[in-house]
Each structure stands twice: as structure tokens, then as C-alpha cells.
Chain A
Amino acid sequence: MLGRTLREVSTALKQGHITPTELCQKCLSLIKKTKFLNAYITVSEEVALKQAEESEKRYKKGHSLGDLDGIPVAVKDNFSTSSIETTCASNMLKGYVPPYNATVVQKLLDKGAVLMGKTNLDEFAMGSGSTDGVFGPVKNPWSYSKQYREKRKQKAHGENEDSNWLITGGSSGGSAAAVAAFTCFAALGSDTGGSTRNPAAHCGVVGFKPSYGLVSRHGLIPLVNSMDVPGILTRCVDDAAIVLGMLAGHDPKDSTTIQDPVKPFTLPTFADVNKLCIGIPKEYLAPELSSEVRSFWSKAANLFESEGAKVIEVSLPHTSYSIVCYHVLCTSEVASNMARFDGLEYGHRCDINVSTEAMYAATRREGFNDVVRGRILSGNFFLLKENYENYFIKAQKVRRLIANDFVNVFNSGVDVLLTPTTLSEAVPYLEFIKEDNRTRSAQDDIFTQAVNMAGENLTSAIPEPHAKEPEQLHVTSFSYLPMTNELAGIIETFVVTKRPYWT
């Protein structure tokens, strides 16, 4: 039952094959069994069981709230959850219990979803490995698959198995691992530079980054306000569309959400593929791209072509400037957003009380890890009066050029872009930590952050699922694009659509 898709289990609930409480208990026991993955920071067992009970009552009365009623979900621990601790995997917010729900969390609960817990991440979502949180790294469930172990055995004999586990990618690694390990049917992540799509790719699940403004950020503890979007992680594209349907729309509490009413999201049919023009951005053919990823990328392109789509090479000429630009804009907003963590109103406060300034300094030194502090430092540097023009303004201008790249490509008749999500498959932890967070983020966000930079009502990204079942390649719908049964999350393809693909 746990291995099914959201839609399948929803049907099972409706038909009474399983009750919400049974489903919830199954997930809870799997969460316990997979505790070593460190996917969850908080497991909200009591709340979940209570919500499941409520859901069960509704089903009995025949008053189900829809497809999400009784469905176990998980939420990244940077979304505010009323009366459930929300830490951002940081000492700064350890013990912080928000008095309100993020809009997206509230929407899930209003639709009857059962909240299993809060998932692990890099501290304040700053990272691409889910290795830099105060609660320790998240382990990729694929590390424990038979296939991966066999592969490891072939490669290196005698290695310590415990340290050979793979990273999940990040920063929403906890959510990706939770979905991949079947402990929930959907999870919320957040995506600022690839934080939903990257771990989705590494964990072989669907990671969806909605267009900026489509889904409310109210209650999402910000990394970069102008790029953050709540992300959706599921085990198939159809499920992501269901969840998106529940979350999208204007929120009076978030002035940057679009005012226009949102049309229901229906997936196009197979027949639509031959009307598609698919762009392959040549700049994404980076030398660092692993041969596996490259080969899957071309397989996917060929697949589209053989199904009748037009596949052409396109150019996004400013791609190479994207990551450095992202760095300037990201750290600047980080410096600003982190200013509120001063130990006064909430969160960690040091014992030093010599002066207000000394208290701020000690609180922030104790509360934030090196990565966060480093970003605050560089962000403040870029915002200094003497540097603002040279860095921030310049980065904003380049950001416009990057956005225009996408506009130009889409205006030239291209419907979707097909690109890799990451340079390579998920790497073992020991290898990953050889580089620092900043280097890793710069490498790992290379294909993802440009879309965040382009931001405003331009793009939607759908990383393709890692398909487990079918051996042969086939396209059943535009969205469901099984690739191969290769292991260990090496499907790093995502699709950028010009129009949100539901229109």
C-alpha cells in the first residue's frame, strides 16, 4: 500500500480498502524503521493520528474532503507549523514553536492531509546536500537498495559500508528521502536555487518548482524572498499536479502571489507530445556533466523525438553568469532576512548580557552555522554603500538578461526546455564533504538556479521521476516520462515549460 502513488492510495481510501488511521500507522512504523535516514526532524505522531482519526470520521460519513483526505504528507522544517516546532535545522530556532501555519500547510490540512512530521534540511535551506543541518545529514534511501550495495561491492572492496551512504541532495533532502522511502505520499520542500529539484533528482522522486507567485510563501521561513517558492515532492507527476491544484492561488497574506484565478491543473494527453517543440540549451552541455547524465539526457530527447516532438538546440547565452549572480543576490537577501534573528523575540538567546551588541553577536554566533554566517557576511559586503552598484545592481541587471534568455527562447516557438538537474548522480557523503558548502552549492545549483533567477511567472520545472517498474521506454503522458530502471537517482532531467503546462 505504501508504495502506491497518491492517487492510487486516495482511491483505496475512498473505496475503504484501507482506513486513514491504518495508513497513518503504517507510515509511522516505517518512519521508525527508517529513522537512520534522518529524514525527519520532528515526527508529529500524535497530531498525525488525531488528524487521521478525523479523516476516518469524514470517510465514514461520506464527507471526504477530496483526493488529499487522509493522505500522509511531510513538510520541510522551514515551513511554520502551528504548535509544532519549526527549526530550519538551526540552533537559532531550536525549540521555536510558531503560533501559526504557513498558508501551504494550512491548505494541506484543510484538504484533510495528515501531517507526519517536519523534514530535515540544510540549515536555513542553505546547501545542496542536506548535510549541513544541526540535526545531522540526511541519508539517501537508495544507499540501502540492493542495487546500490551490489554496485558498491563491485567498485570498492572492503570499504566501510556505513560511510558509503549517498547524500540526498538538498536542501529539501529530508522531504525527498521521506517520499522516496515511502513514509509519506507527498512532501513540501522549498526551492530557491534548486533545493526541491536537486534532492528529487538524487532520490528518484518528482520535484516540482512552481512558478514564482503561483504558490504562497506566507509562513515559509525565507532564504531569498525574490526566488523562494514552496516545492512539491511526490512519487509521480500526476501526484504533484494534484498537490499543486490544492496549493496554487492568490493568498492575501503574500502580496507577490498572482491575483488571477488559477485554472485546474490537468495533465496533457499522450497525443499532445507531437505538437511540442522541445529545446535543448547548448550551454547546459557542461564539461563537468557526467557521462551517465549526458546519456540519459540524450535518451530523453530521443524519446521525445521518436514520439513526434520537435527537438531543437537552443541557446541561453547568459547561463555562465548565472551562478555568480545568484550568489550575490542570494547572500544579500540572506543578510537581510537573517537580521531578525537577534535573540529578542524568539529563538536562541545567549547568556551574555554585557550589552545589546554583545548579546546580538554571541546569540548569532551560537545560533548560526558557518555557512549561514558566511552568507550573511558576504551579503552585507555586497549591500555596503560602496559596493551596492558594483555587485547588487549589476547582479540584478544580469538577472534580467538571464530572464530574457528564457523569454527569448520561449518566444521563438519552444514549448519546453529539457535539461539535466544535476551534473552527476548522487555522490557518497564522504566524497561530498570534501568540498565546502559554497563550492558544492555553486556546482550543484548550476542547472537549477537560473530558473529561480528568471523567476516571475515564467517557469515551472518538473524533474522527471526515477522510474522503477518499466524496462522499456514509453511515454504515457507528457508528464510521466519513465526513463530506465537504473538505480540511485540518476535521472537528472527536468523540464521547463513556457506556459505552466496545465494551460
Chain B
Amino acid sequence: MAALVVRLSCLGKRWVLACIDGGSRHGRGAAIGLTSRRKRGQSSVAQQPLIAVQKSRKGEREWAAVVGLEIHAQISSNSKLFSGSQVHFAAPPNSLVSFFDASLPGTLPVLNRRCVEAAVMTGLALNCRINKKSLFDRKHYFYADLPAGYQITQQRLPIAVNGCLAYSVSVGKKPSQVSTRTVRIKQIQLEQDSGKSLHDEPRSQTLIDLNRAGVGLLEVVLEPDMSCGEEAASAVRELQLILQALGTSQANMAEGQLRVDANISVHHPGEPLGVRTEVKNLNSARFLAKAIDFEIKRQIHELENGRKILNETRSFDDKLGCTMPMRDKEGKQDYRFMPEPNLPPLLLYDTASLPPGADPQQVINIDWIRERLPELPGKTREKLIQQYGMLPEHSFTLLNEVGLLEFFQNVIKETRAEPKKVTSWVLNIFLGFLKQQNLAVNESPVTPSALAELLNLLDRKAISSSAARQVFEELWRSKGKTPSQIVSEKKLELMQDQEALERVCHTVMEGHPQVGVEGRRKAMHFSAC
């Protein structure tokens, strides 16, 4: 194949220009707005931090924000949606490209069974209705990393519809004040990912990497049932956990396996919805929340100053913390949707409709998949609460940190300590250490067995709580040592010999008669703990 290099003197430049242009219009635009408002002697809303935006200035009507999400999750699959090319993150450029992926004329799509199963699993986990017949469509637009000039997607009849996703957000100041919310899921559709364009600005060229072109995506469309950044981020986090539990996507946002577009509008309650903007390509939950809150704030600000909201696509600049208009793909796109003629309708079956004598390799049975769904995060949390008497917010924390639940369960397996004690140690001390040093669970120097042993020592009163804390710190510092070794090296054992203890106490008291009765009480307490 020819080298996939687009030598374009202007593409890169124009991209930069678009960014600068956007910045000048909106980064600086905000500043101009401020000035003009001051001239009119108004107090500034935009100067407030960009949170809690629903409340308007005194005496004015309240604003309500409406947020919907389109989430693209890369399907965890060995090969692409319509071709046999492998799927790997960070493979050498253009090393995973089949003839079909490069859109060589005459090549045809062949649907990957694994991707269909992943879509069905995800649909079932999100309480969707699975369409027994779904269709593929072509969505046309010209872009250098879209080799065929169209994306194969499911516009008319997607594989799953009408689901819902329950998620929790903390309300109020305390973390224990958790409220469960639900967002409706409009649809889940199967579609192809595009390739990647790398703009090499010094050389004024664009380089195309087609490794990602044709990778299977699940597009999950969440109805506009959310009203702020935090809700959206929590919903995305819950979806991420579900996808990971199902194994249908690794859903790692940093690696682009989960990408979120947010549709945002504001209106006065009781009035029709406002004009919406779309903020594209949000690749972390934190930025998602920030971008949405900024955009809500911006829209209110614009409207309150008599300006209009344009129905446009915006991007989020994480450094400036603001959204700005993107170079629109030639303004308003008409995607000229058309049925994909090379793929027959996708037919799924349940046990009742399964054609007799059907080859199990050729058909997909929805019931069969439903029976084999793994445990979902909601259920896992419920079990943690029931089994270990855990507080709901603790169950959330355990699941939210990658690998923490597994760590917790391994500690539980090996220790006689009370589950509440284990929970407290894992969530307070262990997680605290991890956060302090910005480590992931699997990077922890303390293994579950070590923590279990430490908790055992604590449980049989071999050491005190404060000594246990000291041992933990030592475990963290010096890898390879066992808690028992540390305890004996540092002589941290509690004295178990009653007579010896009494002798010590007497000696102490005799040596310090001035301490008096108060001192005696403390010493006795010491021996009893």
C-alpha cells in the first residue's frame, strides 16, 4: 500500500488557526463581555467560579440545565468490527490495517460476531430492549482518517433501545449523602471507529494512522436526563464500571477506549429547552464534569447578556478550563445516510425464536447471553453491603478504584479480622497511602497477604492499633518484609504476660510517685488494651 501521508501545507496550519481563532472569540470574548458589563454597571457572574450555576442573580429567574451524553466505547475484541485486523492500543502506525480497513475497492464488510455479542451484553446490562432485527447504514463525510468516505453505523434501527442506567451522586457536604438517579438510554448502536490524523505542523503535513480505523464501537446515547457535570461524570463512571464488569470494553478514557460527547442546553424551568451545543471528545471524567459546568455557565452568561446560543460543536481546553468552538466539518453537515447494501439485516434470536437445527456458530441467542451475564457493579455493591455490613458510600469507593475491590476481597480471604475493620483499613489507610503517592492499586508495595497478616496481628491483640499503623508504614517503605518480622524487629508486640506486666507497672509507679492516681489509671488502661 502507498504511504498514508497527506502532504498538505495548510491542514496543520488551519487547525492551529482554528484553535487560535476559537480562543480569540471565546477565551477573549469572555473578557470583552466582562468589560462591557462593567460599563453597564452590572455585577459579574462570570467572575464566580464555574460551579453551582443554576442559581442566577438575585431577583432573576432560575436556570435549568439539560445534559445528554453520547458515549463511544471501543469494543474489547481481538479483531475489528468488519475485518480480521487485530486490535491493539499503541501498535506501530498502520501495522493493523486490512484491505477493507484501507477501503481498497471491491472489499466488503464481514460482521464480527464478538462485537455483536458485546453489544447484546451491554444492552442487556443496561436494561435495553434488544432489537431482533437491526440494520446498518452509511454515514457520509469526507475526512482524511475515514478512508471509505463513510462510516458504517446503525442509524435507522440500532441493536438495542430504551434502557436505563442507575448511578449515584453525592448530595450535600458529607460523602455519606448519596442519592441514586436514573438516566434513560435511548439506544446502543454498533459502528466503526475512524483512523487517527496526526498533524505534523513543522512539516505542514498530516499523517494518517489507520490502526484504529474500523475498530468496533458501541455508541451509547444517554437521554438528556442530567443537569450538571457531576451527574454526567457519575453516570459515565457507572457505565464504565458496567462495561468493565461485562468485559465488553476496557473503557479506559485515557487510552481513548471511552470517549464522551456532551449535549448541553439551558432554559428557564417551565419553558421549552434551549438551543444546545455539543462538546466533543471529552477524555476524562474530571474534564467532562468541568466542561459541562463551564458550558452551562457560559450559556447562561450569554443568554443573560442578550446573546444567542449557537447550535455548534465545541471542544474543551483542559489547560484553560473552557470550551471553544471547533472547526466545524464544513458547517452544517448533511451525512446523506443510506442503507449499507453489503450487510444483510442483523438478526438475533431468543430461545423461543431460534430456528430449529440452527448452527450455534451462525446464530446469536439473546437468552443464552442473558443467562451468562457476569455480576454487575450494582449487585456487587449490594452484596458488599449485605455481606460485610458496609456503608453504601464505602461500597462505591471500593468499586470506583480499579483493583481495589479485588484487593479488599483478597485481604478478607486471608484474615480473621472483622470485615468492618478490613473496610476501614483498606479505604482509609491503604487508599490514603495510594492517593498520597498517586499510585494505582496494582502498584502498591503492600500486598493483600501482608495487610491480612497485619490485621491478624491486630485482631489477636499481638499489637496495638498505633503499632499496626507503624507496621503498615514500614511495610510500605520496605518491600519484602512480613508484618511479623517488622513487629519483632521494632519490638512492637503487646506484652501478654500478666505478671511481667504488673512488675513493669509497679516499677514505673514506684519510680514516679508524683504521677499519682491519674498515672495509675492510664497505666492500667495500657495493660488492658
Contacts and interface: CB of A to CB of B under 8 A. Distances in A.
Interface of A: 79-80, 86, 88, 93, 96, 98-100, 102, 217-222, 224-226, 252-256, 259, 332-333, 335-336, 338-342, 344-346, 353-357, 359-360, 380, 383-385, 388, 392
Interface in B321-342: 330, 334, 336-338, 341-342
19 contacts: A222-B106, A254-B342, A255-B109, A255-B111, A256-B344, A335-B336, A336-B138, A336-B140, A336-B149, A342-B142, A345-B102, A346-B2, A346-B102, A346-B104, A356-B11, A356-B206, A357-B330, A360-B142, A392-B338
Q: In this complex, which of A220, A252, A353, A388 has the most chain B Cβ atoms within 10 angstroms of its Cβ?
A: A353
Nearest to B143: A356
Nearest to A354: B10
Contacts of A344: 4, 6, 144, 147, 208
Contacts of A254: 108, 342
B108 A253 contact: yes
Given A218-B106, A345-B102, A355-B14, 8 more contacts: A79-B106, A80-B104, A99-B99, A217-B108, A345-B2, A353-B9, A356-B11, A356-B206
Contacts of A98: 104-106
Contact of A93 (B103, B105, B342): B105
A360 B146 CA distance: 13
Contacts of A341: 105
Interface of B: 1-2, 4, 6-11, 14, 99, 102-111, 138, 140, 142, 144, 147-150, 206, 208, 330, 334, 336-338, 341-344, 362
Contacts of A336: 138, 140, 149-150, 336, 338
Contact of B338 (A218, A252, A333, A354): A333
Q: In this complex, which of B102, B104, B106, B343 has the most chain A Cβ atoms within 10 angstroms of its Cβ?
A: B106
Given A255-B344, A384-B336, A392-B338, A99 B148 contact: no
Given A345-B1, A355-B11, A356-B6, A80 B337 contact: no
Nearest to B147: A345
**Interface majority SS (helix, strand, loop, mixed), chain B:** loop
A99 B104 CA distance: 9
Contact of B337 (A220, A339, A383): A383
Contacts of B144: 342, 344, 356
A163 B162 CA distance: 67
A353 B7 CA distance: 7
A215 to B, nearest CB: 13
Q: In this complex, which of B7, B336, B337, B342 has the most chain A Cβ atoms within 10 angstroms of its Cβ?
A: B336
A481 B125 CA distance: 63
B142 A220 contact: no
Contacts of A256: 341-344
Contacts of A221: 105-106
B334 A99 contact: no
A345 B104 contact: yes
A255 B108 contact: yes
A100 B111 CA distance: 20
Given A256-B342, A356-B8, A340 B337 contact: no
A364 to B, nearest CB: 10
Given A344-B208, A353-B8, A354-B9, A339 B149 contact: yes
Contacts of B362: 259
A355 B138 CA distance: 25
B341 A226 contact: yes
A255 B480 CA distance: 57
B82 to A, nearest CB: 9
Given A340-B148, A346-B1, A355-B8, A220 B106 contact: yes
| The 9 nearest A-B residue pairs measured at CB | A339-B149, A383-B336, A225-B341, A226-B341, A221-B105, A340-B103, A219-B106, A80-B106, A340-B148
A264 B132 CA distance: 35
B203 to A, nearest CB: 12
B106 A102 contact: yes
Nearest to A88: B105
A325 to B, nearest CB: 15
A377 to B, nearest CB: 12
A93 B150 CA distance: 20
B342 A255 contact: yes
Contacts of B149: 336, 338-340, 342
Nearest to B138: A336
A340 B338 contact: no
Contact of B8 (A86, A217, A359, A383): A359
Q: In this complex, which of B11, B341, B343 has the most chain A Cβ atoms within 10 angstroms of its Cβ?
A: B341
Nearest to A339: B149
Nearest to A221: B105
B94 to A, nearest CB: 10
A107 to B, nearest CB: 15
Given A340-B105, A345-B103, A355-B11, A388 B147 contact: no
Contact of B110 (A86, A102, A252, A388): A252
Contacts of A224: 341
Contacts of B150: 336, 339
A360 B147 CA distance: 12
A388 B337 contact: yes
Contacts of A385: 334, 336
B6 to A, nearest CB: 6
A221 B342 CA distance: 13
A408 to B, nearest CB: 24
A333 B341 contact: yes
Contacts of A380: 336
B108 A218 contact: yes
A336 B111 CA distance: 20
A333 B138 CA distance: 10
B343 A255 contact: yes
Q: In this complex, which of A79, A98, A222, A336 has the most chain B Cβ atoms within 10 angstroms of its Cβ?
A: A336
B21 to A, nearest CB: 15
A360 B144 CA distance: 10
Q: In this complex, which of B9, B111, B338 has the most chain A Cβ atoms within 10 angstroms of its Cβ?
A: B338
Nearest to B100: A253
A14 B2 CA distance: 44
A225 to B, nearest CB: 4
A88 B336 CA distance: 25
Contacts of A222: 105-106
A100 B99 contact: yes
A100 B105 CA distance: 11
Nearest to A347: B105
Contacts of A86: 105
A102 B334 CA distance: 33
A259 to B, nearest CB: 8
B204 to A, nearest CB: 9
A345 B107 CA distance: 14
A79 B7 CA distance: 30
Contacts of B103: 340, 345
Nearest to A335: B336
Contacts of A99: 1, 99, 104
A388 B4 CA distance: 34
A357 B342 CA distance: 28
Contacts of B142: 339, 342, 356-357, 360
Q: In this complex, which of A98, A224, A255 has the most chain B Cβ atoms within 10 angstroms of its Cβ?
A: A255
Nearest to A217: B108
Contacts of B344: 255-256
Contacts of B2: 345-346
B106 A339 contact: no
Contacts of A218: 106-108
Contact of A332 (B105, B106, B338): B338
B517 to A, nearest CB: 89
A397 to B, nearest CB: 13
A82 B362 CA distance: 31
Contacts of B109: 255
A380 B111 CA distance: 27
Nearest to B141: A339
B106 A255 contact: no
A102 to B, nearest CB: 6
